[in-house]
Chain A
């Protein structure tokens, strides 16, 4: 069982009291415990079991506008005392920063919404094994599948955030995650693909047969890929790639990048950065949402933000420190976006893949080719060549490149949004990108 609220609260108040006693003007403490149990399968037999019990505490002490922090996994009072003394001594010699402070008291979360983020169900390892057996049996049905790996993980966590302004709150959460990686082989090639499901509640995860089948089908389709020539072409992004665009967008509007001037979306508030058909929403209070939160890691309440409305950028994701620097109020996004999504477009998936007589459908990108300073985007990719709405053949060993500023403006969405992860997007098409191949 994860440590209860009383235990975590007692550790938090010990640290706060000690910091104050030493002379800190303010302090903030986060203490948490998480227990996870994972079972890994490979080729239909047990490969690995892993149990993890992690305690973590972090303390920030302030002396006026000076601040420093410590963290530890050892919660014995004697150890905490040594570390907090060290933290206080470090704070004394750390230079002042006028923007350092605890969050404004009136922005702190007053109530904890019941978001149903904790499912107390416990699945014994034997039951996890049953799930994975069924999954791999389905995944390995086709003889082209030569290797299957799968994993089931159950995680329970509890935490308390407390600060010297009297905030003291926390809650339990849980997650159940299953994944499957399959390898398919034919005479010419060996390819790998995957599928996973992750939910707060056990009953909401994808059933094992489905998960295994999706992974296997996706992998077999990739066999015997071809390389294509270098050209300008319209690119359709599968949902699992289009959601990564949203993550990059969220990175570029984080107040830390904006305050440092290192984002291509700096000074773009109230400007048209997407077509007027595009809306982007960040919703922290989605019931059972895998990205849901009652408050951010500073205790600031978070509400739904229409980040982009009719293509116009409305908000940055703001925390206390960078908010003060930018003269903005924190909107409870110290930890970035929560449940982030594009609203559905008008077109069906079928209509979208038929827009052009020839386009490239991307299912996987590799590499770290996203530059948030300039908006340059250049990644390795795999996918399929689509002609007249039909998937002709798999394509690999190509790169796709462009700049987010242009890509955002030329983006069209289908109406096939669903909420599987914390970031979700419908299928997307962008006209006129550069593909480099042979």
Chain B
């Protein structure tokens, strides 16, 4: 555990006094220290293109009075700097008359170990794996024209100091391994990307030459795309494969169920609590407690332990995801969903691992039931307009379905739909729920945080597919 101010002129008593003095007339707030050690190593175009190590230390000081949030952050850790932040907060909340809520729940459950993945594996051995990846792919297939492979790893240590001197700490490891391959055949170029990651050591992912599986998967996706034809355009049935395609749930539904948008009534879901928002059989949870997953957290960035929050149960909207601020203003409790990218950002209610649970049908039944449609296996990125509820996804691997059979691969298909109505169009839920491989980063208000998703195969009755073939 790093001690955040042992190299400064601050003592713990100074810090506690400044925090208590600043927050005395506030409803909430805290001082957040963060120490982030991170590395990234990139192989590209046959060479180690970059190796970077970064060490970032800083604090963010937050004071809340009613709905107003005052925030100040700096990476100069000293008495002067902390005091000037304190003055800045006090001047924003001049006339504040809040009552500080000291209650913060605690558990002893930890969902990952206090490790530093960067130091656990030597740089030499990481370079060796990246070079092996490059050689393996280029030898394996002569159409391989470009290989990019990367490691990124970090250890983030945090300490949250609340008024009254209460301190909460967490040490969070996170790694990611990624391979991208570009193929060229008859003048046509296509890429395939695959990656794995989570909150444990590199070796846990790379044992038994597991890196080869990652290569194979990237290569397979690129090969499929090389034989793809233009996507159809228009409204049709869509079968989504299990696992990563759940980012559609994340974008289309998840964001709309975050507390801030609902408190502000800017979400299309804000007046639908207790109502039917999805077909029967659709249950969606947001779970921060799954061991070593990318989206898991022992405590959130306000110190609240994470939990498994049921968002939609058998089609009925049950809960929103809350941080302390939005929970207080909506008369409910935090679900441990308060997150921030780092000390430079304010806390917002965010997703952790968002999952649609398994149903009873098989993927085979779904495909068989479709006369004309598409089967989407993997997505690149997606985006949602929270207010109108409209969302968009780009397929990176998809196939036509004709008369109940999977046909040719299609390229460049975009799926567009309406968040609040899409779940009502789900007509079959598969029995094959799967987690994604641990690669998701969710963006909101300019802040990226690691997240996970999971779902079984599902059949959606009607979606607009945006291809070029009419």
Which chain A residues have a beta carbon within 8 Å of chain B's beta carbons? 42, 45-55, 67-74, 76, 78-79, 83, 86-87, 90, 93-95, 97, 125, 146-147, 183, 189-192, 227, 230-232, 259-262, 366-369, 371, 373-374, 376, 378-380, 382, 396-403, 434-438
In the complex, whether B235 has a CB less than 8 A from a CB of chain A is yes
On whether A401 and B69 interact (CB within 8 A), knowing A262-B182, A436-B465, the answer reads no
Question: For residue B385, which residues in chain A have a CB less than 8 angstroms away from its CB?
Answer: 192, 366
Chain A residue with the shortest CB-CB distance to B91: A125
Chain B residues with CB under 8 Å of A55's CB are: 75-76
Indicate if the CB atoms of B392 and A366 lie closer than 8 Å: yes
Q: Select which of A42, A67, A374 is within 8 A of B189 by beta carbon.
A: A374
B328 interface hit (Cβ, 8 Å): no
Contact assessment for B466 and A398 in the assembled complex, using a CB-CB cutoff below 8 Å: yes
Minimal beta-carbon separation of B38 from chain A (angstroms): 9
A398–B466 CA distance with the chains assembled, in angstroms: 8
- In the complex, how many angstroms separate the beta carbon of B44 from the nearest chain A beta carbon? 7
How far, in angstroms, from A397 to B47 measured CA to CA in the complex?
A: 43
Given A55-B76, A71-B52, A183-B266, check contact A48 B70 (CB 8 Å). yes
Q: Are A147 and B393 in contact (CB under 8 A)?
A: no
Nearest-CB distance from B423 to chain A (Å)? 16
B394 and A367 contact, CB distance less than 8 A? yes
Say whether B68 faces chain A, with CB atoms less than 8 Å apart.
yes
Q: Mark B101-122, 1 if CB is under 8 A from A, else 0.
A: 0000000000000000000000
Q: Which residues of B contact A49 (CB under 8 A)?
A: 68-71, 88, 92
Contact B390 A73 (CB under 8 A): no
CB pairs A–B below 8 angstroms (9 shown): A42-B264, A87-B53, A230-B235, A367-B383, A368-B381, A369-B412, A379-B466, A398-B416, A436-B414
Contact with A along B377-401 (1 / 0, CB 8 A): 0001111111110111110000000
Q: Which chain A residues lie closer than 8 Å to B67 at the CB level? A: 42, 45, 47
Q: Is the CB of B388 within 8 A of A90?
A: no
Which of A47, A74, A78, A259 sits near B68, CB closer than 8 Å?
A: A47
Q: Give the residues in chain A near B384, CB-CB below 8 Å.
A: 366
Excluding A93-B127, A259-B45, 18 further A-B contacts by CB distance (< 8 Å) are: A45-B68, A48-B70, A52-B74, A53-B74, A68-B53, A70-B54, A73-B57, A94-B48, A190-B268, A232-B470, A260-B146, A366-B392, A367-B393, A397-B417, A398-B416, A398-B464, A398-B466, A434-B467
B162 CB, min distance to chain A CBs, angstroms: 20
Taking a contact as CB atoms under 8 Å apart, the answer to whether A54 and B344 are in contact is yes
Would you give the shortest CB distance from A399 to chain B, in whole angstroms?
A: 2
Bound-state CA distance A389–B73 (Å) is 51
* A73, B74: Cα distance in complex, Å: 9
A378 near B414 with CB under 8 A, answer yes
Which residues on A sit within 8 Å (CB–CB) of B91? 125
Q: Are A50 and B71 in contact (CB under 8 A)?
A: yes
Q: Check if B233 sits within 8 Å of A401, measured CB to CB.
A: yes
Residues of A within 8 A of B55 (CB): 70-74, 79, 83
B53 contact from A70, A76, A367, Cβ within 8 A: A70
Partner of B411, one of A51, A68, A376: A376
Bound complex: CA A379 to CA B467 (Å): 10
CB distance A379 to B392 under 8 Å? yes
Closest Cβ of chain B: how far from A6's Cβ, in Å?
A: 17
In the assembly, what is the distance between CA of A49 and CA of B61, in Å? 12
Q: A72-B56, A367-B394, A373-B191 are in contact. Are A401 and B75 (CB under 8 A)?
A: no
Q: How far is the CA of A86 from the CA of B189 in the complex (A)?
A: 39
Q: Which of B75, B264, B469 contacts A73 (CB 8 A)?
A: B75
Q: A192-B387, A436-B233 are in contact. Are A260 and B414 (CB under 8 A)?
A: no
The residue that A51 contacts in the complex, of B85, B127, B392, with Cβ under 8 A, is: B85
Complex Cα gap A50–B71 (Å): 5
* Chain A to chain B: the 10 pairs with minimum beta-carbon distance, closest first: A399-B466, A380-B392, A367-B392, A436-B233, A192-B387, A368-B381, A73-B75, A436-B466, A378-B414, A53-B74
> Given A51-B88, A74-B57, A373–B190 Cβ distance below 8 Å?
yes
Report whether A434 and B468 are in contact in the complex, using a CB–CB cutoff of 8 Å.
Answer: yes
CA distance A396 to B387 in the complex (A): 13
Question: With an 8 A cutoff between CB atoms, is B13 at the interface?
Answer: no
Kindly report which residue of chain B lies nearest to residue A377, judged by CB atoms: B412
User: Which residue of A53, A147, A400 is within 8 Å of B75 (Cβ)?
Assistant: A53
Main secondary structure of the interface of B (DSSP, over half): strand
Complex interface: chain A residues within 8 A of B50 (CB): 67-69
B412 & A401 in contact (Cβ 8 Å cutoff):
yes
B444 contacts across to A, CB distance below 8 A: none
Chain B min CB distance to A52 (Å):
6
User: In the docked arrangement, what's the CA distance between A114 and B124, Å?
Assistant: 47
Query: Contact at B68–A50, with CB atoms within 8 Å?
Result: no
Please give the distance in Å from A382's CB to the nearest CB on chain B: 8
Say yes or no for B185: interface residue by CB 8 A criterion.
no
Q: Which of A47, A97, A368, A399 contacts B380 (CB 8 A)?
A: A368
A49 to B48, CA, bound (A): 43
Which chain A positions have C-beta within 8 A of B73? Answer: 51-53
Given known A71-B52, A73-B56, contact A380–B44 (CB-CB < 8 A): no
* Most A CB within 10 A of own CB, among B7, B52, B466: B466
Q: Is B387 a contact partner of A369 (Cβ separation < 8 A)?
A: no
Q: Is the CB of B234 within 8 A of A436?
A: yes
The answer to whether A69 and B394 have CB atoms under 8 Å apart is no
> Is A69 touching B52 in the complex (CB atoms < 8 A)?
yes
Contact B468 A402, beta carbon cutoff 8 Å: yes
B76 touches A147 (CB 8 A): no
A394 to chain B, nearest CB (A): 11
Q: Determine whether B145 belongs to the interface, using a CB cutoff of 8 Å to chain A.
A: yes
Question: Is B123 part of the binding interface, using a Cβ–Cβ cutoff of 8 Å?
Answer: yes
Q: Closest Cβ of chain A: how far from B40's Cβ, in Å?
A: 10
Q: Which residues of A contact B265 (CB under 8 A)?
A: 146-147
Cα(A373)–Cα(B411), bound, Å:
13
B52→A399 contact, CB < 8 A: no
Given contact pairs A401-B233, A436-B467, A51 touches B71 in the complex (Cβ within 8 A): yes
A356 → chain B closest CB, angstroms: 18
Which residues from chain B contact A374 at a C-beta distance below 8 Å? 189-190, 412
Query: Distance (Å) between the CB of A116 and the closest chain B CB?
Result: 28
Q: Whole-angstrom distance from the CB of B296 to the nearest CB of chain A?
A: 26
A380 lies within 8 A of B390 (CB): yes
Distance of A183 Cα from B69 Cα, bound (Å): 22
The residue that A95 contacts in the complex, of B48, B81, B189, with Cβ under 8 A, is B48
Within 8 A of A (CB), among B257-280: 264-266, 268
The reply to whether B51 and A378 contact each other, CB–CB distance below 8 Å, is no
CA distance A399 to B383 in the complex (A): 13
* B contact residues around A86 at 8 Å (CB): 53
CB-nearest residue of chain B relative to A191? B388
Q: Which residues from chain A contact B394 at a C-beta distance below 8 Å?
A: 367-369, 378
**A50–B412 alpha-carbon span in the complex (Å):** 41
Q: Let me know if B233 and A52 touch, CB within 8 A.
A: no
- A369–B412 CA distance with the chains assembled, in angstroms: 8
Collect the chain A residues with CB atoms within 8 Å of residue B381's CB. Answer: 367-368
List B220-278 residues whose CB lies under 8 Å from chain A.
Answer: 231, 233-235, 264-266, 268
Does chain A have a CB within 8 A of B341? no
B391 touches A380 (CB 8 A): yes
Residues of A contacting B189 with CB < 8 Å? 261-262, 373-374
Q: Which one, A42, A51, A368, A438, contacts B72 given CB within 8 A?
A: A51
Q: Which residues of B contact A93 (CB under 8 A)?
A: 123-124, 127
Inter-subunit contact B470/A190 (CB<8 Å): no
Q: Is B58 an interface residue (CB 8 A)?
A: yes
Partner of A190, one of B47, B74, B388: B388
Chain B positions within 8 Å of A94 at CB level = 48, 51, 127
Check if B217 is an interface residue, CB within 8 A of chain A. no
Inter-chain contacts of B346 with A (CB < 8 A): 48, 50
State whether the Cβ of B418 lies closer than 8 Å to any Cβ in chain A: yes
A385, chain B: closest CB distance, angstroms:
17
| CB atoms of B464 and A437 under 8 A apart | yes
| In the complex, chain A residues whose CB is within 8 Å of the CB of B465 | 399, 436
List the A residue with the shortest CB-CB distance to B69: A48
Min CB–CB distance A329 → chain B (angstroms): 20
Taken residue by residue from 448 to 470, chain B's Cβ proximity to chain A (1 for < 8 Å, 0 otherwise) reads as: 00000000000000001111111
